[in-house]
Chains A and B, each alone.
Chain A
Amino acid sequence: MEVRVANVRKEFDRFPALHDVSLDIRSGELIALLGPSGSGKTTLLRLIAGLERPTRGKIFFGDEDASQKSIQQRNVGFVFQHYALFRHMTVADNIGFGLKVRHGAARPPAQEIRRRASELLDLVQLSGLEKRYPAQLSGGQRQRVALARAMAIEPKVLLLDEPFGALDAQVRRELRRWLREIHDATGHTTVFVTHDQEEALELADRVVVMSQGRIEQVGTADEIYDTPNSPFVYGFIGESSTLPVKVEGGEVWIADRPIGLPAPDAADGPAKLFFRPHDIDLLDGCSGCIAGTVAASRRVAGTRRVELEIGGERQRVEIELPVDHPAAQKSRVAFRPRRWKLFPA
Chain B
Amino acid sequence: MSIAPTQGGWRFRQPSVIPGFGLTLGFSLAYLTLIILIPLSGLVWRSAALGWTDFWAIATDRRTLNALRISFGTAIVAAAVNVVFGTLVAWVLARYSFPGRRIVDAMVDLPFALPTAVAGIALTTLYAPNGWIGHLLAPLGIKVAYTPLGIVIALVFIGLPFVVRTVQPIMEEMDREVEEAAATLGASRFQTITRVLFPGLAPAIVTGFALAFARGVGEYGSVIFIAGNLPYKSEIAPLLIVIRLEEYNYPAATAIAAVMLGLSFLMLLVVNLAQSWSRKRYG
Give A residues with C-beta under 8 Å from B.
Answer: 49-51, 71-72, 74-78, 80, 82, 84-89, 97-98, 101-102, 133-136, 146, 149-150, 152-153
B178 within 8 A of A: yes
Q: B183, B184, B185, B283: which contacts A87 (Cβ < 8 A)? A: B283
Q: A80-B177, A101-B191 are in contact. Are A75 and B200 (CB under 8 A)?
A: no
Asked if A97 and B283 make an inter-chain contact with CB atoms under 8 angstroms apart, the answer reads: no
Asked if A135 and B175 make an inter-chain contact with CB atoms under 8 angstroms apart, the answer reads: no
Residue on B nearest A81 in the bound complex, by CB: B177
Sampled A-B contacts (16; CB under 8 Å): A51-B180, A51-B183, A71-B180, A72-B184, A72-B187, A75-B186, A77-B184, A78-B181, A84-B175, A86-B178, A88-B281, A88-B282, A97-B185, A97-B195, A98-B187, A101-B182
Total residues of chain B contacting the partner, CB 8 A = 21
Asked if A84 and B177 make an inter-chain contact with CB atoms under 8 angstroms apart, the answer reads: yes
For B200, the chain A residues whose CB sits under 8 A away are 86-88
Q: B178, B195, B283: which contacts A133 (Cβ < 8 A)? A: B283
> How long is the Cα–Cα vector from A76 to B186 in the complex, in angstroms?
9
Complex A-B, nearest 5 residue pairs according to Cβ-Cβ distance, in ascending order: A135-B283, A98-B185, A84-B177, A84-B181, A78-B184
Asked if B186 and A72 make an inter-chain contact with CB atoms under 8 angstroms apart, the answer reads: yes
For B182, the chain A residues whose CB sits under 8 A away are 86, 97, 101
Within 8 A of A (CB), among B195-219: 195-196, 199-200, 202
Identify whether the interface residues of B are mostly helix, strand, loop, or mixed: helix
Asked if A101 and B180 make an inter-chain contact with CB atoms under 8 angstroms apart, the answer reads: no
Asked if A84 and B186 make an inter-chain contact with CB atoms under 8 angstroms apart, the answer reads: no
For A97, the chain B residues whose CB sits under 8 A away are 182, 185, 187, 195
Asked if B188 and A101 make an inter-chain contact with CB atoms under 8 angstroms apart, the answer reads: yes
In the complex, the number of residue pairs spanning A and B with C-beta atoms less than 8 Å apart equals 77
Q: How far is the CB of A337 from chain B (nearest CB, A)?
A: 46
Give B residues with C-beta under 8 Å from A.
Answer: 175, 177-178, 180-188, 191, 195-196, 199-200, 202, 281-283
> How long is the Cα–Cα vector from A84 to B177 in the complex, in angstroms?
6
Most buried by A among B175, B181, B199, B200: B181
Asked if B181 and A101 make an inter-chain contact with CB atoms under 8 angstroms apart, the answer reads: no
Asked if A84 and B180 make an inter-chain contact with CB atoms under 8 angstroms apart, the answer reads: yes
Q: A87-B200, A88-B200 are in contact. Are A80 and B283 (CB under 8 A)?
A: no
Q: How far is the CB of A87 from chain B (nearest CB, A)?
A: 5
Q: How far is the CB of A157 from chain B (nearest CB, A)?
A: 11
Residue on B nearest A49 in the bound complex, by CB: B184
Q: A87, A101, A102, A152: which contacts B282 (Cβ < 8 A)? A: A87
Residue on A nearest B201 in the bound complex, by CB: A88
Residue on A nearest B181 in the bound complex, by CB: A84
> How long is the Cα–Cα vector from A88 to B200 in the complex, in angstroms?
7
Most buried by B among A71, A72, A74, A149: A72
For B185, the chain A residues whose CB sits under 8 A away are 97-98, 101, 149-150, 152-153
Q: How far is the CB of B183 from chain A (nearest CB, A)?
A: 5
Q: A76, A77, A82: which contacts B177 (Cβ < 8 A)? A: A82
Residue on B nearest A161 in the bound complex, by CB: B177
Q: A80, A85, A87, A134: which contacts B180 (Cβ < 8 A)? A: A80
Asked if A133 and B281 make an inter-chain contact with CB atoms under 8 angstroms apart, the answer reads: yes
Q: How far is the CB of A345 from chain B (nearest CB, A)?
A: 43
For B177, the chain A residues whose CB sits under 8 A away are 80, 82, 84
Q: B183, B187, B188, B199: which contacts A88 (Cβ < 8 A)? A: B199
Asked if B281 and A102 make an inter-chain contact with CB atoms under 8 angstroms apart, the answer reads: no
> How long is the Cα–Cα vector from A101 to B175 in the complex, in angstroms?
20
